[in-house]
Structure 1
Amino acid sequence: MDLNDQLKNLFPDHVSSEESSTPKKPDIWLQDDPIICKYEKRKGKPITILEGYNGADSDFKKLAKELKTKLSVGGTFKDGRIIIQGDYRDRIMQLLQDKGFNVKRVGG
């Protein structure tokens, strides 16, 4: 008898969240055109730049915050672009593809 069976015996009226799962709507608008992921060096330090998102700025800011926390790095959102400190192109592209975005790698 596993935990779910025990809980059903204790609380027969309760419906678990796994059983009543509905398809979750993405909180960020997905676009048809790919997001450009490129690498630059500024003042000798590597940075990764994401641009080409044509949704709302608030959605792109949410995406920037999520990327910064998942990668544990600094970064900013300026002029419709996300600037991440360091060369994280591969990890960023994988995270965005997992969320359903089209990503295009530019520059090396």
Structure 2
Amino acid sequence: MSKNSGLIYSTEHGTMCPECRQPQAACICKATLPTGDGIARVGRELRKGKAVIVVTGLILDAAALTTLGKQLKTLCGTGGTVKDGQIEIQGEHRDVVMAELAKRGFKVKRGGG
């Protein structure tokens, strides 16, 4: 039996971390913050002909980034996702997103696109 073998899923807590054996939401071994300069870069990309606003550079843990993403989606009244350390908002909402991030105290720069 290897060192990291053990419980990987619990019906009570869901997926378990193989290292610290805590629920993924309460994992203590992967509590490192993402690296970056802390400047929120708000860019625009075209995907299948439609605009997507992408926010990168935020130094937040996964839970805080997910919460912020949900709040921005609600503010814009649109869909989106949080993945790979960035927030994606569907539609042309760059000015709204930039204003909200600045209001929350983030340093904001307009990205390309």
Match of 2:7 in 1: none
**Which secondary structure does the structure 1 equivalent of 2:38 belong to?**
coil
1:98 aligns with 2:103: yes
User: How far, CA to CA, are the matches of 1:45 and 1:32 in structure 2?
Assistant: 29
1:84 aligns with 2:92: no
Determine which of 51, 59, 74 is the counterpart of 1:54. Answer: 59
State TM-score, norm by structure 1.
Answer: 0.67
Name which structure has the greater RCO, CA cutoff 8 Å, separation 6+. Answer: 1
What is the identity percentage for the equivalent residue pairs of Structure 1 and Structure 2? 42
By how many angstroms is 1:32 displaced? 6.5
Letter in 1 for 2:43: K
Match of 2:41 in 1: 36
User: Where is the helix percentage greater, Structure 1 or Structure 2?
Assistant: 1
Which whole-Å deviations, capped at 9, do the CAs of 1:63-85 have from their partners, x for residues lacking one? Answer: 00000111110000111111100
User: How far, CA to CA, are the matches of 2:110 and 2:96 in structure 1?
Assistant: 12
State TM-score, norm by structure 2.
Answer: 0.65
User: How far, CA to CA, are the matches of 1:98 and 1:52 in structure 2?
Assistant: 17
- CA RMSD of the aligned region, Å? 1.5
User: How far, CA to CA, are the matches of 1:81 and 1:55 in structure 2?
Assistant: 10
By how many angstroms is 1:87 displaced? 1.4
Match of 1:70 in 2: 75
Unaligned runs of 5+ in 2: 1-35
Aligned residues: 78
User: How far, CA to CA, are the matches of 1:35 and 1:70 in structure 2?
Assistant: 17
**Which secondary structure does the structure 1 equivalent of 2:75 belong to?**
helix
Match of 2:50 in 1: 45
